[in-house]
Structure formats: C-alpha cells, structure tokens
Structure 1
Amino acid sequence: MSTLCDRLLTKFPGRNDQIERLLSLLGEPEDPAPPCVFVYGPSATGKTSVIRDLFSLYDTSGSHYAYINSVECFTTRLLFERTLNAWAGHVPCAENRFSNYAKCDNLVDFVNTVRDLLVSSGKQHEAHYMVIDQAERLRDRGPMLLTSLLRLPELTGGANISVVLISNVVWDKFRPRHGGAADPLSIFFPYYTKQQILQVLAKDCPSDEPQPFFLTFVDAVYEVFHRNCVDLNELRHLVAMLYPKFVQPVFEHQATRNEFARLFKLCQPYFAAASERLYLREISTSEWQKYSAVASAKNNPEDVATSIYHMAENSDGMDLPHYTKFLLISAYLASYNPSRLDVQYFARGKDPSQKRKRKGGGASAAASEDALGGKDRQQLLGPKSFAIERMLAIFYSVIAEPVDSTVDVQTQIASLITLRLLTKTSAGDRLDGIKCKCNVSLDAIRAISRSVRFEIDRFLYNFT
C-alpha cells in the first residue's frame, strides 16, 4: 500500500491529503468498504484523474471496480449494465454479439443480478466499487435511485459494495429529500494553490528545455491570467500555446534566456491576443498556431501586434449553435443600445432606418447626443448591464424564423455565461432579475452576425 501511495503522490502533487484519506478508507481488498464515499470540489482539481489512477493501481485485475460516467450512461439501465459488465469481467464484442452480462431494466433486476454474481458465488467478502463521475446527474434519474445506491450492501444481502460519487456540487445540493440512507464520507478537492500549479505544470516542461526557465514562464502566465482563469486545464492549454512563442526569440538570436524581461516584452502581443481570442475560444487551437506563426515571421513589433489581434477577422464566427449566436447578438445589442430605443429598433415589421427617420424624438435625441462629441459613442463607453428578460425580447424580435419548441434557451444562456461570453453582474443568489454584460468585441460580433446573415450594423445605435 505504501508503494501505491508513493506512486500516486509523485504523479499528483498537491493532493497528498486526499490520496492518503482515500487509501485509508479503502484499506485492504478484504476489509469492509465504506457504503459510500463522496468526492467533490471545483472542476479541474484532479478528482477524476486521482480516483481512476488510484483504482487502476489498487485493483490491477479491473474486475472489482466499475467506472461510470453519468454523461455516457444517461439512463439507469446503462448505468446498471455497465457496472455488471465490469464486475463480471465481461466485455461486449463481436463474438458475443456485443451483448451485456445481464439485462437490467430496473433496480430490482440489478439487485438480484448482483446478489447472484457476488453473494451466491461466495464473493460477498471481496470489496467491489461503483465509481460514478458527474454524480449530480443522478438527481434526474428518479427520487429513489440515489438512496438505493447508498444502501446497496443492505439491499444485496451483505455484499461488500461501495459507491464512490464524484461531483462538482456539494452534497447538500442533491441529498435525497426523503432520507432513508446515511450521508457518505466526504473528501474535498480544493483549487490548486499557485505553488501546486507550478508543481503540476513542471511535468509539462519539454525535455530539451531547462525547467527553471520554463517555470519562470509559467509563473508569468499565472500572474497574467489567474484573476480570470483558475482552471488548471485552461492554464495548461495557455502555457502550451504561448511557450513556443515566448522562447522563439532565443532561437532567432533576438534575446538570451537570461533576458527574461525582453522575452516577456516580445511575447506581450501574444499574451494580449490569448486573453481576447484563445481563452474565449474565438479561434481554435489550430487557427492560433497558424496565425501566430504568420505574426512571428514579422520583425516589426507593431506588425506582430496588428497581425495577432486580427487572428479571427477572416473566420465565420465562433463555433456556436445557431440560436446561441442570435442570443449572443441580442446580448451585444442589449449591452450597447439604450433601452429607451428598443421599440424604435426592434418593433417587428419595419426597417429600423426608416423608423429613425420618422421618429422625430429619437432623431433629435440622437442628434443631441452626437453633439456631445465622439467620446460619448456607445462602443467607447463599454458594455452596460442588461436584464435577461430584455435580451430575450430582443432575441425573439431579431430572429427571422419561429424558435423551435425543443430549444432550451435558458440552457444556452447558461452556456454563454460558462464560456464567459456573458458576464453575470447581479448577485449570485438572485433567482429573478438576473443581469449580465456582453463580453464580446465588435469585430467578433460582426463575424458572428455574418455567419448567420444578420446585418447587425443596422441595429447598433451611435456606432458610426
């Protein structure tokens, strides 16, 4: 067990307490397993990687634990049958016509099959583990499923079974309301500290590069991006994309490795572009590599900056679903257009340019605001907060065709917030009156509008 612990601690720096706690709960294969272990914490904190590597080393046969991803196993039948296949050592293939070990349509079938597989065959004392990733999705599988999983040893007649739940959500958010089962043992995976991030990313250092120099660069990337990016996977991606550009002047004899300040200055346009284009996924990784290679071939730093800032100018917009693009366009219009002009711009059936000519009040207001000078133009003032209800009203006005009833608009708005294309400005605990800002540049929104053949310039106030 000590060798297993050492291997895991070496591979996963910064997770010593969690690994030691997990191993102490598992014990030896013949020891009684805890009925349920709940592993939780923010995304990109090593939960799934640690658990999977731990069980692959703990159970080399692979027949005593089953790893289930709730996204793949989106029904209880798939969850049960995948578990039985792993515990029985059964692999669906052409020889068995890709059949499963047993057919389980419901919980009763699963419990009876587990009882036959483990208890009747004398394996009830051997520990078997069901590892369920993204366990918060179990809340949508019926009120009794989670309670039944927590009581599997009791339901199966004393089998040594443990359920390991992995989630980004705290236990209080999906504890069964009706009770019936004890709370699991919890293990929390917090965000990595700066020192732990440096230890993890040190493993990504290229073999032909000096590690102290590489870690100095990683430290600089962390300082630039950590306020907006705490996700280790995102930082890892940014380091992989930016380091070749950072070290390139060394091979071109423009600077030495000891001139870190000069190297950082030469790479500064790439840092700015990465924060605006790469991190927000306005361009893909392949596009970044292509356009940054063109930019790095230029000697004039201003030409490099100009080239790198316009990486996405020839693209057809972000790779977003059709309705999501219109939602983002509506958010941009809500952020930059005064709310008092919504009726003038978005009333159905009339051209906005004609309405501007006919509405004397709107024209005089526009003229008076233009007289204040160019410093008051909307794009220079930055995005304003808007209510989600106002954005939806604009969305249903600007989209040409009726919205399909199967489209979940609220989920797409949540995705835009997750992608940081929208920034939530209202309090996090508010359930009504949610307000956001649009976090997209004018060039990007024009590219998105072109991809859906929407003339956004006709609907933008005071942008000329």
Structure 2
Amino acid sequence: MGDVTRPLSRDEQIEKLRLVLAGGPGISVPETIFLHGLGATGKTRVIKWVLETEQIQHAVFHCVEMYNVRLMLESLVVQLTGEESRKCENISEFISFLGQELNPKQVYVILFEESERFRDADSHLKHVFCRLQELTGLNICCIFESRIDWTRFLPNRGLPYPYIIHFPQYKKGEMTELLISQLPGEKSWEFKRDFISLVQSIFFMVARSFTELSFRSFTELSHIAGLHYSEYCRPVDSGECKETDTKKLWFNIDKDLKKCLSVVHLREVSSQQLRELQKQKEEQEEQDTGVGGVIALNPTRLSVELPFYSKFLLISAYLASYNPAKTDKRFFVKHHGKQRKTSQSIKAKEKFNSQLTGPKQFPLERMLAIFYNVIEERVNPTANIYTQISSLVRLQLITAVGTDQMDQPKYKCNVTLEFIRTISKSLQFEIQKYLYSQ
C-alpha cells in the first residue's frame, strides 16, 4: 500500500467518499463520482488514500495516456482482475469481460486522473464509462478527477448526473501545515514553521496574491522548500547557531533561495546545482570560439542551460521518435503484464533498427504521456510545459510536422542518441531502460 498518512485539511471530503463508497450486499455505490477543484488541492491523494485504507478493489488511469484506447482498456482489466495480461481490443470486449469475470457482490472503482481530457474522447466512450454500472450489472463506480466543474466537463445529453465533491483551495494556515508535514527530520514544529514562513514571504515576490500562490504555486513552493531545508538546518546541525537564531539561518539561504525563485515555474535545478552548472558554463564559454550554433552543437553546455522539465520533454520526444508506438505498453504502462518473446517478434525487432531508419513523427499526446511517466514526480500540465515545448521547437531540438492540423500537432526529434545520453546523465535518468533497440 502507498502512503498511509491521512491527508490533512480534507476531513469533509474524506468522510463523504467513505460514506458513498461503503457499498455492501444490497447497497449500490454511485455510478459516477465527480471530484473537482483547482490544481494542488489534494483530489488524487485523498481518493487514493480512501481506496487503499478501505481496501476497495480499484484501477487508476491517467487520462494523458488516452491517445490509445486499447492500452487504457487492457490496463483497467489487468488492475481490476489481477491477471498478468489480458487482450482487450474494444469497448464491447471490455464490458463483456468485466460482466463475466468480476464479482457482482463486490465494490469496484475506476479512477480517471485529469479526466478533463475525456472531453476530447469519443462520445461513445464517455457514455459507456458514465453508465458502466448499468451496462455490466456490477457494483462499480467511475470516479472522474478534474480541474473544471461538471457543467464544463461533459454535455448532459442524457448522461446520469454524478455525485459531486468539491475540493476548495487551501487556506493560508492549511497550506503552512501541509508544507511543514512534508519536511523531513525531527526538528521542532516551531523550527519548521519559521522556515516555511520565511519561504512563503519570499514566494509572494512571484505571486500577485495568496490566491495565485495557493493555486499556481503550491507544488513549486513544496519543491523549493524541500531543496533548501537541509541547507537551512546545516548551521544548527554543525553547532554554529541555535534553532532560535532565525535571522542567521535566513541569511544562510537568502541569496540561493531568491536566485532559485527567479526561475521557480521553470523548475530548473537546486541552488547548489545552479552554482556548479553556472561555473561549468563560464568555463565552457572561455573555451568556445564563435557565437552562432554553439548551444546546439554542445550537449554538455546545453544540459546546463535547459530547464529541468525541458530535459525530460526532450528525452520523451526522443523516445517517441525512436521507439515504436506499440512498445509504449511495455515501457510506460505499470500494469502491462508479461510479454512473451515469439519468433515473429524477434524477427520484427531485428528488422526494426530505429537508429538506422531515423526519427519517426509522433503526436503531441504521445510525447506528453511518455513525459508524465518518465518523470519521477507528479507534474501539472500547465502552460509552462507547453511553453517549454515551443522553446524546444525554436531551438530546433524538435521539429513541428504538419502544423496545419491544429487539433493534433505532430513532431520529430532532431537530436542524436549521444546527445540524449548526455542530457540523461545530468538527470541521473537511465535512458537505456527505455530504448527499444540499441
């Protein structure tokens, strides 16, 4: 089971979910539950905690991977049944299999993360999952987690009205308590509170109001606090000062913290890494001759200058360009089961050498699906992510293909394997584990 710590400041939402998902003989759970609220308000954490603590059989699917419906259906089947692998070609097979294999007396839940992407899915798919209990005869509930409210989520058109639970923004005191709970170590609560208060005061420099701070920046604030907490604690641990010497502790991290906050939404690197990489950059500039084309030709220097997310986006673009789409299930779907090697698959792999055939074009949705799987943390799909994709295009690291298709832009990756290995090394990311062919 995952994190067993009860989510803070969400008692009302937890009790509502426990009440409606209790189920039991003769008691049906709702067909659909709709959780909505702004980003970083605890929706996913709360529902996952309830499902695990109540030991409800469930399946989780992140809708960024909805570019391939077959992979979605197979992943849901594997999670709900516990089987190692199961082929499911279409929605009819999915409904039939659930009706035959699952226990009608047991409660099942399917959770769709970031389900606002459902608006772009086939209308038949929307109707099926909103009426899955009726179609299968099971005590099954589909939960849609979204940043938008129900009126903007799906057109009514005969769909059953869901049980709606709203997750409001955290208040300032609640946010402080949450950030304190995430800090490691056994320092006193007062010491941690002073640190978080100092970080929040600086963070207001990049947020116009507390509303913007809580909505746009909570995850970034948590990241920044985690990066600088050990440096804040260092003088106390070494005996240079006491926990109550707030002023001295603050001056120890003030400069690095302000420098890191200047690029907070790009999530570049920690302050220590920033200093080291800046030094490498200056040394490299002394060796370089000429001005034009240096960044694109020098992967070491580029790995310094690219933001953190841009590096992972470039890696994702490379994998999408050089790995066949059919291998995404093996590399990026957690519940994909085992894959047997056959003579046909071995011959196909020998025939397919991506390094010789060159990069293939891929849709934006596929690259983002890979990105959200390879990065180790939960990332919100904000405008900053799409801005960094545009920056990679301007740097000619990836190329936009077929820009006339506004609803489904496609790209190609322009960098070499050696280049990607250098970028991956700076992130301590094992690229070899995700390459289809060497």
TM-score, L = length of structure 2: 0.59
> For the structure 1 residues 29 and 82, does the alpha-carbon distance in structure 2 shift closer, same or farther, using more than 3 Å as the test?
farther
CA distance in 2, matches of 1:400, 1:211: 49
Superimposed CA distance per residue, residues 116-168 of structure 1 (whole angstroms, 9 cap, x where no aligned partner): 224xxxx3232221111121222222012112211112222x32121111112
Could you tell me whether the CA contact under 8 Å between 1:75 and 1:141 is conserved in 2? no
Superimposed CA distance per residue, residues 13-44 of structure 1 (whole angstroms, 9 cap, x where no aligned partner): 10011101111111244321101001111222
Task: In structure 1, give the amino acid aligned to 2:227.
Answer: M
The number of residue pairs the alignment matches comes to 300
Per the alignment, residue 133 of structure 1 pairs with 113
2:98 to 114, 118, 124: 114
Per the alignment, residue 170 of structure 1 pairs with 149
Q: Using the aligned pairs only, state the percent identity.
A: 24
Superposition deviation, residue 275 in structure 1: 1.0
Superimposed CA distance per residue, residues 280-308 of structure 1 (whole angstroms, 9 cap, x where no aligned partner): 334357724857999xxxxxxxxxxxxxx
Per the alignment, residue 50 of structure 2 pairs with 54
Per the alignment, residue 142 of structure 1 pairs with 122
1:24-173 matched pairs, under 5 angstroms = 24-30=19-25, 31-59=27-55, 64-90=57-83, 92=84, 99-100=85-86, 103-118=87-102, 123-156=103-136, 158-173=137-152
CA distance in 2, matches of 1:198, 1:235: 11
TM-score, L = length of structure 1: 0.56
1:11 partner SS: coil
5+ unaligned residues in a row in structure 2: which ranges? Answer: 208-212, 281-300, 315-386, 410-438
Could you tell me whether the CA contact under 8 Å between 1:130 and 1:163 is conserved in 2? yes
Per the alignment, residue 181 of structure 1 pairs with 159
Per the alignment, residue 246 of structure 1 pairs with 232
2:253 to 243, 246, 267: 267
Could you tell me whether the CA contact under 8 Å between 2:266 and 2:307 is conserved in 1? no
> For the structure 1 residues 237 and 411, does the alpha-carbon distance in structure 2 shift closer, same or farther, using more than 3 Å as the test?
farther
> For the structure 1 residues 285 and 33, does the alpha-carbon distance in structure 2 shift closer, same or farther, using more than 3 Å as the test?
farther
Superposition deviation, residue 211 in structure 1: 2.2
5+ unaligned residues in a row in structure 1: which ranges? Answer: 1-6, 93-98, 295-311, 325-390, 414-464
Larger Rg: 1
Runs of 4+ residues over 6 Å off in structure 1? 291-294, 321-324, 398-402, 408-413
Could you tell me whether the CA contact under 8 Å between 1:135 and 1:165 is conserved in 2? yes
Task: In structure 1, give the amino acid aligned to 2:203.
Answer: F
Could you tell me whether the CA contact under 8 Å between 1:39 and 1:164 is conserved in 2? yes
Corresponding position: 1:318 with 2:290? no
Could you tell me whether the CA contact under 8 Å between 2:183 and 2:226 is conserved in 1? no
2:194 to 216, 221, 236: 216
Task: In structure 1, give the amino acid aligned to 2:109.
Answer: Y
Task: In structure 2, give the amino acid aligned to 1:213.
Answer: F
CA distance in 2, matches of 1:313, 1:67: 37
Per the alignment, residue 197 of structure 1 pairs with 175
Superposition deviation, residue 47 in structure 1: 1.3
Per the alignment, residue 222 of structure 2 pairs with 236
Per the alignment, residue 419 of structure 2 pairs with none
Task: In structure 2, give the amino acid aligned to 1:196.
Answer: E
What's the RMSD between the two structures over aligned residues? 3.9
Which of the pair has the greater relative contact order for Cα pairs under 8 Å at 6+ separation?
A: 2
Superimposed CA distance per residue, residues 219-244 of structure 1 (whole angstroms, 9 cap, x where no aligned partner): 22122215624333222211111222
